[in-house]
Amino acid sequence: MDDIHWHPRECHRPVHHTTAPGVALSRSSSQAAASQAAAPAGRAPRSGRGRASRPRRGRASRRIPRRLSQLVAGLLLYGASSALLVRSGLGLEPWNVLHQGLSKLTGLSIGTVVTIMGGVVLLLWIPLRQKPGLGTVANVLLIGAAMDATLAVVPDAGNPAARVALMIAGVVLNGLATGLYIAARFGPGPRDGLMTGLHRVTGRSIRLIRTLLELVVVATGFLLGGSLGIGTIVYALAIGPLAQLALRLCAIPGEPPRRRGPRPGRLLRPGTHPHPRARPRPGRRRRPPGRGARRHPRHLGPDPPQHHRHPEVTGSGDTSAVTRLPDPTPRPRPRPLPRPRHPYLDHPSPIPFAHRGGAADGLENTAAAFRRAADAGYRYFETDVHTTADGRLVAFHDPTLDRVTDARGRIARLPWSAVRRARVAGREPLPLFEELLEEFPDARWNVDLKAESALEPLVSLVRRANAWDRVCVGSFNEGRVARARRAAGERLATSFGVRGVVGLRLRSYGIPAALRAGAVAAQVPEAQGGVRVVDRRFVREAHARGLQVHVWTVNDPARMEALLDLGVDGIMTDHLETLRTVLTGRGAWG
């Protein structure tokens, strides 16, 4: 039968329940029903939000000044503690490594950079649909100003003892400041909000997203000249325990957190949605269940509508204990983006590349080296190109002749008549790239654009020789590759630059990142700066997007075997016989 029950905290509307056989009402709901039945006609039962709750609201309003003062004090102390770490010279916390690097690059004060970067990070909240609070805005405005003010009055440490003292004071004060402003409960800072927003959008763990963000920030800041040192390590190890202790000391008594979903003691009529705002809109087509689709837990009551999502309930009919709500967080998975196979990749995988023709004997990027590679059965050659002062395209790695030839000077400043007289290892001349295309008509060339000036001559040569199927262009400079692709169109095979590789790496962890279209391969080192680039996750993500993975430069047979086990599509090596032996042993040479 249908009963109407008044919930103590929801007196403004009745809550309908259908009592099914074997489903018992909770004690609180039964009491509410009894009181409702005993109430005079035309008079609603008394709400729990009566006079007894007014003093509680008064106490909450009296806590606002304390919360505000604690927020401001925490942010000012945070800026001051960061300034102490700067003056110690022993290393900064991760984000300030980036801020210091940008400060050196732009000439702005580090506090100004902190404020600007806070605003930039705040803009990233928009696509993540994060809403800033008072604490978020105050974080952007106060920390940078406090940092500059402290730097103006605290001098650099003059001796090691003073530097260590400043470092310890900065770390301890930073932990206290973190506890102060977080306990004020006025919203997260811009960087914390970015982390939680990415967690909500991607469904990945906070730990993973925080770690990746910190690594990217530290690496970028270090490359820009930010300070890494013992202070960075001490901060990373100590900030967690210090902030936790400070949160306990600075906690402000407040109301218990609101429970999301149906409250204990409240029963739901079948078809009643626990989250009205999340109720499906009428007439909208639903996604069929499958990979990534949300699965619906059990419902309370007989034959519930399948388009509603309800919490699971435990016990034999005791609905006052809600144990689990459906997870509303979408977990997107990368969708495969199949690409047509470029003719350049018309070779059984894995592809063996002769790196600079096989640079182990010192005759790198010479016609003699490429002849020896061709005699060994290699069809794919890796080389680099520069242009001379008169616009000739030379196959050579370095910008100068000094390292491997008997001549000296920068190639871009010398005419071809002078460059051609240089000898690699005192024996072999430097070849023009067009000469290599003519001498090895069946070879495929992986060309690294080493200079902007080489872009137009290379595209013109490929067009003139109709070598679209024989050349793949790559560069560390993502913009250079993009300009080559625009100049040549889709006929030119290209590989990812650094930005594309980083984006692909982030996507392998489920973190959204932009990828330029048009590349046919990701050509990467196995590791860079102690950070592993190629693993099974990276290879799987590349293959899902129709990209091959070529790894350079691998000379150890054990590493070759390990990479082939991961499923890479090509290996570049200086040791031609070693790679040939490994592939032959696996039945993959041909």
Kindly list the catalytic residues.
355, 397
In 3-state terms the chain splits into helix, strand, coil percentages (rounded to 5) of: 45, 15, 40
How far apart, in whole angstroms, are the C-alpha atoms of residue 92 and residue 227? Answer: 6
Residues 6+ apart with CB under 8 A from 269: 15, 16, 17, 18, 301
The amino acid sitting at 346 is: D
Cα angle for residues 330, 332, 333 (degrees, 5° grid): 150
How far apart, in whole angstroms, are the C-alpha atoms of residue 311 and residue 324? Answer: 6
Q: What is the DSSP string of 419-436?
A: HTT-EETTTEEPPBHHHH
Q: Which of 257, 264, 310, 269 is nearest to 7 (CA)?
A: 264
How far apart, in whole angstroms, are the C-alpha atoms of residue 397 and residue 357? Answer: 12
Supply 123's token pair. 């803009």
Query: What's the DSSP call for residue 294?
Result: P
Where do the H-state alpha helices sit in 89-159? 94-106, 110-123, 125-128, 134-153
How far apart, in whole angstroms, are the C-alpha atoms of residue 118 and residue 221? Answer: 15
Burial of 51 (0-12, 13-18, 19+ CB in 10 A): exposed
Cα angle for residues 491, 462, 543 (degrees, 5° grid): 40
How far apart, in whole angstroms, are the C-alpha atoms of residue 192 and residue 206? Answer: 10
Question: HSE-up of 480 (CA within 13 Å, CB side)?
Answer: 19
The pairs formed by 478-484 with CB atoms below 8 angstroms and a separation of 24 or more are 478/516, 480/449, 480/452, 480/455, 481/449, 481/519, 482/516, 483/455, 484/449, 484/455, 484/458, 484/459
Cα dihedral 198, 201, 205, 206 in deg (nearest 10): 30
